[in-house]
Amino acid sequence: MPDLIESEAQLDALLASPSERLIEFMRQLDGDLMILGIAGKMGVSLGQLAVAAIKKAGARKSVYGVARFSNPDARERLEASGVRSIQCDLLDRTAVADLPKTPNVLFMAGRKFGTGGDEPLTWAMNTLVPANVAEHFRDSSIVAFSTGCVYPLAAPHRLPDEQTSPDPIGEYAQSCLGRERMFQYGSQRWGTPVCLYRLNYAIDLRYGVLHDIATKIWHGQPIDNSAPAFNIIWQGDANQQALLCLGHCSSPANMLNITGPETLHTETVAKQFGELLDKPVRFTSTPEGGCYLSDSSRATNLFGPPSVDAEQLIRWQAHWIKTGGRSLGKPTHFEVNDGAY
């Protein structure tokens, strides 16, 4: 891994660089791959990574990328890398029924921000769309992206693992549990192999918890430390693990917490950024209540530790902010612990 990341071209190339383990997995994987909801923050790099791994494996299989593609740039980047794009509104059951059936599916579609005030659309995107997909791809293996927000709020010393019963707070998190239930129902009814991929939080330098904290410090804004701690994982590792999860789908549905092994404390990380950016650090409140955390021991045992640890991510992020690296302008709202998105 590089000491620092200097450009978007370098960042994108790093995100699309497959590990030897992923290359070998793609060599052994049977059939084509489809990524639904590919145009989001993680999807483009996931599609590029899948194509790169297949090429390096010398395998003959296609990667399809499905989205509404309201942003034409995402579609152009995917096509240029070798992803075969398909425009589709996944809320339209007829349109979903026309999608080619591939043996391997990664489901990334969903809605989070803007839930407040438009809850019906959030529920439709997070439950009706999974129902459409689960039925159409009943004979495929499905890795369904989910979130650690389905768990109850936790203290930093007691992390929820996959045996922890869901207890979602607020309509967004409740709808995410609904998404999981649709895929679990499909797995039970049709025997579909499913892996529920509970992620929090991915880091890409252009967005993420570290980006949110560092940007505020750089601009002299106080840090909301209502949530005392958080977990993170490098997006490159999150994408590698998502593809490898195709080998861990089962019926009944399997579930895996995907994040880094470190539990990071908000105030400690903020002070690190203050030193790296040579800026003062202020906080808005006293930490109270729980936060969204996950125990990722099972994933670490399956896939090994992430290739980039938290300390390196913090150094990368500070340099990215100092040198004017681009932002996607999509805050994570990691500090929210009342379920109101």
Does 38 reside within a domain?
A: yes
Q: Are 41 and 238 in contact (CB under 8 A)?
A: no
- Give the separation between CA 341 and CA 329, rounded to whole angstroms: 16
Query: What are 311's two structure tokens?
Result: 């300390």
pLDDT at 300: 97
Q: Are 313 and 203 in contact (CB under 8 A)?
A: yes
Query: What are 166's two structure tokens?
Result: 């869901």
Long-range contact set of residues 160-164: C-beta below 8 Å, sequence gap at least 24: 160/257, 160/293, 160/294, 160/295, 161/257, 161/294, 161/295, 161/297, 161/298, 162/198, 162/255, 162/256, 162/257, 162/298
Q: Into how many domains does the chain fold? A: 1
Q: Are 231 and 35 in contact (CB under 8 A)?
A: no
Query: What are 294's two structure tokens?
Result: 């996950």
pLDDT at 340: 67
- Give the separation between CA 316 and CA 11, rounded to whole angstroms: 10
Does 329 reside within a domain?
A: no
pLDDT at 63: 98
pLDDT at 112: 76
* Residue numbers of the domain that contains 71: 8-200+234-259+295-305
Q: Are 293 and 244 in contact (CB under 8 A)?
A: no
Does 315 reside within a domain?
A: no
Does 328 reside within a domain?
A: no
The angle that helices 235-244 and 43-57 make with each other, rounded to 10 degrees, is 60
Does 333 reside within a domain?
A: no
| Helical segments of 304-338, H only | 310-322
Does 216 reside within a domain?
A: no
pLDDT-flagged residues of the chain (< 70): 113-116, 339-341
- Give the separation between CA 186 and CA 253, rounded to whole angstroms: 9
Q: Which residues, 6 or more positions from 257, have their beta carbon under 8 angstroms from its beta carbon?
A: 148, 160, 161, 162, 198, 294, 295, 296, 298, 299
Does 280 reside within a domain?
A: no
Does 267 reside within a domain?
A: no
Helix (H, G, I), strand (E, B) or coil at 271: helix
Task: List C-alpha distances in Å: 236 to 23, 49, 77, 273.
Answer: 14, 9, 17, 22
pLDDT tens column, 279-320: 999 999 777 778 999 999 999 999 999 999 999 999 999 999
The three-point CA angle 131-133-135 to 5° equals 70
pLDDT at 114: 60
CB atoms within 10 A of CB 88: 16
Query: What are 171's two structure tokens?
Result: 């309509």
CATH number at residue 127: 3.40.50.720
